[in-house]
Amino acid sequence: MFKKILIANRGEIACRVIKTARKMGIATVAVYSDADRDAMHVEMADEAVHIGPAPAAQSYLLADKIIEACKATGAEAVHPGYGFLSERASFCESLEKQGIIFIGPKPKAIEAMGDKIESKKFANAAKVNTVPGYLGVIEDADHAEKIADEIGYPVMIKASAGGGGKGMRIAWDKSEVRDGFDRARSEAKNSFGDDRVFIEKFVVEPRHIEIQVLADGHGNAVYLGERECSIQRRNQKVVEEAPSPFLDEATRRAMGEQAVALAKAVDYQSAGTVEFIVDKNKNFYFLEMNTRLQVEHPVTELITGVDLVEQMIRIAAGEKLSFGQKDVKLNGWAVESRLYAEDPYRNFLPSIGRLTRYQPPAEGPIGDAVIRNDTGVTEGSEISMFYDPMVAKLCTWAPTRLEAIDAMSDALDSFVVDGIEHNIPFLSALMQHPRWREGRLSTGFIAEEFPDGFAPIKPDESQKGVLAAIATAVELLRRDRLDRLAGRLAPHSGAIKPDWVVKIDDDYVEVSLRDGMVSIPFEADLSINGGKVVTVASDWRPGEPVWHGTVGRQSVTAQLRPDPKGLRIDWKGMSVTTKTMLPRTAELEKLMPIKLPPDTSKMLLCPMPGLVVSISAKEGQEVKAGETLAVVEAMKMENVLRAERDLTIAKINCKPGDSLAVDAVIMEFA
């Protein structure tokens, strides 16, 4: 076994690998860029080597720097994590030349599977089901149109070297092929330095289900069940689970066996993932093979009990797989939510900044469930614009799917993140979504269920009651404390006012204290809108961000953020501002005018902090709805800002190359 390995990655995956290495008694070496000097993976590793400036192209993507770092530290092997150099065959070859072991498959397998066209040929040869498509090199847009016509619409145009959602476009009819081809090609070139693209049939209502395989250098290979990753937003996975609620045992076995056949066909020696799309009739087609550890690998680990990183290290060290297919048992259900630094209320645009608060739920067993949080950040860490905006992968395991989902919902409710915008509200909303809970999924789920983007869930009447009860409990404690404020005119009477009005966004809920102690722990009976009396109990103390307690028979975990405008409460994807007032104050408050935010309809605002790539319009120009006005780049993604209606440009306030803050006015309309 290795004595020391280097992890050629950053963030949560570097931390993840270090954890297993440490468990195995292997010393670890981290590498870091300027932006990651104080990053968690650097602190966790036994040694750390600086490899360059912040941009990945000048640090984490430089194979030579990694090799130098190995030599300098005496690391015998390199775990590449995912992304960066993980699927670059040339990197493995360079390592091999230096006598350093790559913890992953052999270069040939990477090469074969890394190219989407090549991989399909291999799959066909191994008798793996594939999607109809054109495997040759596409010369130009005309050629693309011809091929698309032959396959039949819709078609998908995809970067050959691609991964994730980058360099991928769907054309629903002929008119979209040309633009899609051009864009896919330019994105492919920018992201992967390789502008080859291919075209294939686009399966409608598809589910994304992938098989985890493990294969050693001694001809043994097993599959570790599947993961369903159908909850995607613009082809980026958001929520994954294992097993899939859709597969039956026969389909699972058929997919698993094909996956293993493919792995064997390319002499695969490591952990790998064979991605399939599955249509509504459980027909499955090979999509691609990811020759690396997947982001969502923890769900497989949670249901199989296999540490995939450990297996990768053992296989790389030449060990034989210690178990066979019959030893693989799927136990319970696991769900993973990816926490991204993105603003769900602004169409998921990236958000950067300092994590002023980062308090994940405690890991480990809680009731029948288990919580796992893979992260590479800590309170005070900086989410920079240079890398992937994923902050953490929150996983829950439970004996059944619904229990795992409910555990996830609670875990999300208690996950405190401040300083950046993040998608927890959206993930929470997803966990409440009936279609998700029923498991009726497709990769179009988010686009279909949230066609107009995401807005906070509006509380229903009973939820308003719960929110009002929490707000009142908090206010009663505040008042009780002020009743003991030093310097009072007379000792206070102990008579806490019983009647309150809670304003929740624009609604008013009447709450009355019927019975109980206003103290910590809090336990009192409150009547809501003159009706039902509920007992509210909590040991919450002022200043704590998470309110955990019971309202009636319901267990509630909510987050509280006081501000001068009131108390913000976040719970199950709801986010409301509450104001708890005495009845007289509430009566007068109703007289207050509603203040509308300033009219920004005549401006194009920069939706996120980023760099202006291009401005497509001129001052005085008339623009039709849908035409491109400007392109802003952030987090390596180009965002095209289009005209929402027909308009005339009055003034342009910036030029390409300018770095803009969120809400900066890019241009004004007449």
Partner 1 sequence: MRDVLKELERRRDEARAGGGAARIDAQHKRGKLTARERIDIFLDENSFEEFDMYVEHRSTDFGMEKSKVPGDGVVTGWGTVNGRTVFVFAKDFTVFGGSLSEAHAEKVVKIQEMALRNRAPIIGIYDAGGARIQEGVAALGGYAEIFQRNVLASGVIPQISVIMGPCAGGDVYSPAMTDFIFMVRDTSYMFVTGPDVVKTVTNETVTSEELGGAKVHTTKSSIADGAYDNDVETLLQMRRLIDLLPSSNTAEIPEIECFQTVSEHDLSLDRLVPDNANKPYDIKELILKTIDEGDFFEIQESFARNIVTGFGRVEGRTVGFVANQPMVLAGVLDSDASRKAARFVRFCDCFNIPIVTFVDVPGFLPGTAQEYGGLIKHGAKLLFAYAEATVPKVTVITRKAYGGAYDVMASKHLRGDVNYAWPSAQIAVMGAKGAVEIIYRKDIGDAEKIAAHTKAYEDRFLSPFVAAERGFIDEVIMPHSTRRRIARALRMLRNKDLTNPWKKHDNIPL
To partner 1, the closest distance from the beta carbon of 580 in angstroms equals 11
CB atoms within 10 A of CB 348: 22
Report the alpha-carbon distance of residue 302 to residue 364 in Å, rounded.
12
**Residues numbered 465-484 forming contacts with partner 1, rule: CB under 8 A:** 481-484
To partner 1, the closest distance from the beta carbon of 291 in angstroms equals 36
Here the tokens at position 35 are: 């932006």
- SS3 of 275-341: the string is EEEECCCCCEEEEEEECCCCCCHHHHHHHHCCCHHHHHHHHHCCCCCCCCHHHCCCCCEEEEEEEEC
Judged by beta carbon, residue 127 or residue 481, the one nearer partner 1 is 481
**Residues numbered 322-381 forming contacts with partner 1, rule: CB under 8 A:** 354-358, 378-381
To partner 1, the closest distance from the beta carbon of 23 in angstroms equals 24
Judged by beta carbon, residue 250 or residue 486, the one nearer partner 1 is 486
To partner 1, the closest distance from the beta carbon of 490 in angstroms equals 7
Residue bearing tokens 């290495």: 21
Report the alpha-carbon distance of residue 151 to residue 308 in Å, rounded.
38
Q: Which of 435, 492, 624, 651 binds partner 1 (CB under 8 A)?
A: 492
Give the C-alpha distances (Å, rounded to integers) separating 589 from 85, 423, 461, 473: 59, 33, 22, 21
53 belongs to the binding site for partner 1 (CB under 8 A):
no
Q: Which of 490, 506, 531, 657 binds partner 1 (CB under 8 A)?
A: 490
Using DSSP, state whether 477 is helix, strand or coil: helix
Q: Which of 487, 494, 530, 598 binds partner 1 (CB under 8 A)?
A: 487
**Counting runs of H as helices and runs of E as strands, what totals does the chain give?**
17, 40
519 belongs to the binding site for partner 1 (CB under 8 A):
no
Judged by beta carbon, residue 451 or residue 543, the one nearer partner 1 is 543
Judged by beta carbon, residue 480 or residue 638, the one nearer partner 1 is 480
456 DSSP 8-state letter: P
488 belongs to the binding site for partner 1 (CB under 8 A):
yes
Give phi and psi for 508, each to the nearest 5: -115, 130
521 belongs to the binding site for partner 1 (CB under 8 A):
no
**Residues numbered 559-578 forming contacts with partner 1, rule: CB under 8 A:** 562, 564-565
**Residues numbered 390-409 forming contacts with partner 1, rule: CB under 8 A:** none
Residue bearing tokens 């030029």: 655
CB atoms within 10 A of CB 197: 29
To partner 1, the closest distance from the beta carbon of 484 in angstroms equals 6
Applying CB under 8 A, the span of 152-160, 278-286, 344-352, 558-566 interacting with partner 1 comes to 558-566
Judged by beta carbon, residue 347 or residue 378, the one nearer partner 1 is 378
Residue bearing tokens 């650097």: 42
Contacts of 347 (CB under 8 A, 6+ apart): 453, 607
Q: Which of 3, 38, 234, 555 binds partner 1 (CB under 8 A)?
A: 38
Report the alpha-carbon distance of residue 194 to residue 204 in Å, rounded.
28
Site string for partner 1, 583-622 (x = CB under 8 A): -xx--xx-xxx-x---------------------------
Report the alpha-carbon distance of residue 524 to residue 515 in Å, rounded.
6
**Residues numbered 156-215 forming contacts with partner 1, rule: CB under 8 A:** none
Judged by beta carbon, residue 356 or residue 659, the one nearer partner 1 is 356
Q: With contacts defined by CB under 8 A, how many residues of the chain interact with partner 1?
A: 41
Report the alpha-carbon distance of residue 256 to residue 274 in Å, rounded.
9
Give the C-alpha distances (Å, rounded to integers) separating 533 from 134, 239, 509, 521: 66, 38, 14, 19
Element holding 376 (H helix, E strand): none
Using DSSP, state whether 246 is helix, strand or coil: coil
Question: By C-alpha distance, which of 143, 125, 216, 213 is closest to 185?
Answer: 143
Judged by beta carbon, residue 234 or residue 357, the one nearer partner 1 is 357
Judged by beta carbon, residue 244 or residue 559, the one nearer partner 1 is 559
Active site residues: 288
To partner 1, the closest distance from the beta carbon of 102 in angstroms equals 32
To partner 1, the closest distance from the beta carbon of 69 in angstroms equals 20
- CA 213 to chain CA centroid, Å, is 23
**Residues numbered 73-102 forming contacts with partner 1, rule: CB under 8 A:** none
Judged by beta carbon, residue 36 or residue 374, the one nearer partner 1 is 36
Q: Which of 497, 602, 624, 651 binds partner 1 (CB under 8 A)?
A: 497
Q: Which of 37, 71, 127, 280 binds partner 1 (CB under 8 A)?
A: 37
- CA 394 to chain CA centroid, Å, is 9
Judged by beta carbon, residue 82 or residue 358, the one nearer partner 1 is 358
Report the alpha-carbon distance of residue 39 to residue 550 in Å, rounded.
38
To partner 1, the closest distance from the beta carbon of 421 in angstroms equals 16
Residue bearing tokens 């045992």: 249
Cβ atoms of 339 and 394 closer than 8 Å: yes
To partner 1, the closest distance from the beta carbon of 27 in angstroms equals 25
DSSP assignment of 90-116, as one string? HHHHHHHHTT-EESS--HHHHHHHHSH
Judged by beta carbon, residue 250 or residue 661, the one nearer partner 1 is 661
To partner 1, the closest distance from the beta carbon of 372 in angstroms equals 22
To partner 1, the closest distance from the beta carbon of 564 in angstroms equals 6
DSSP assignment of 564-618, as one string? TTEEEEEETTEEEEEEEE-HHHHHHHTTSPPPPPP--TTEEE-SSSEEEEEE---
Which residues bind to partner 1, rule: CB under 8 A? Answer: 37-38, 354-358, 378-382, 481-490, 492, 497, 520, 541-543, 562, 564-565, 581-582, 584-585, 588-589, 591-593, 595
